[in-house]
Amino acid sequence: MQRASRLRRELSLLAAEPPPGITCWQDADQPELRAQIVGGANTPYDKGVFTLEVVVPERYPFEPPQIRFLTPIYHPNIDSAGRICLDILKLPPKGAWRPSLSIATVLASIQLLMAEPNPDDPLMADISAEFKYNKPVFLENARQWTEKHARQRRTAGEEEMPGAPPAAGDSAAHSTGQKRKAGQLGGREKKARPDA
């Protein structure tokens, strides 16, 4: 009961006053939410539109939402499955989730993490090392991934609408079965941290 009323209130607030560069919605046929975050200016994710899946647990707000990227992203704190290393996505004592936090707050924190990675607490050790010790290569790889995976393509007669939920028939940007691949970029392979 508390989950449903809180979720309704949060979704209506997100629709009425969304944080800049963030949208969140629920498809009628899906129990989980979808969100999009527009990459910030002056970051390698600039002009990229990143889709996320938001699963709200039954015990919400006493448990944090489970959020993962559906759009591949080259980032030290986000792994190839889209999982995010962020303290507010975990319960104490290891995490910092509090029932007073909202989905909008969490999405804004993820947007901030995109702009300011934390290489000292990585999910992707090789990307973290690249960020720390060879930042120009990291920036170029992140830009290439953004260009390849997160740029919204224009079709004939349509304008690009970053941040807007994709049209129902737009399977490229809105596919729930989208496969994520680590792949290789510039001869380097993404590897997950073994203790994560």
Contact 123, 85 (CB under 8 A): yes
**85 given a catalytic annotation:** yes
Using alpha carbons, list the distances in angstroms from residue 28 to 31, 32, 33, 174.
8, 10, 10, 14
How many distinct helices (H) and strands (E) make up the chain?
A: 5, 6
Nearest to 49, CA basis, from 72, 81, 83 = 72
Contact 40, 111 (CB under 8 A): yes
Tokens 């319960």, residue? Answer: 91
| Marked catalytic residue, from 85, 86, 103, 110 | 85
Active site residues: 85
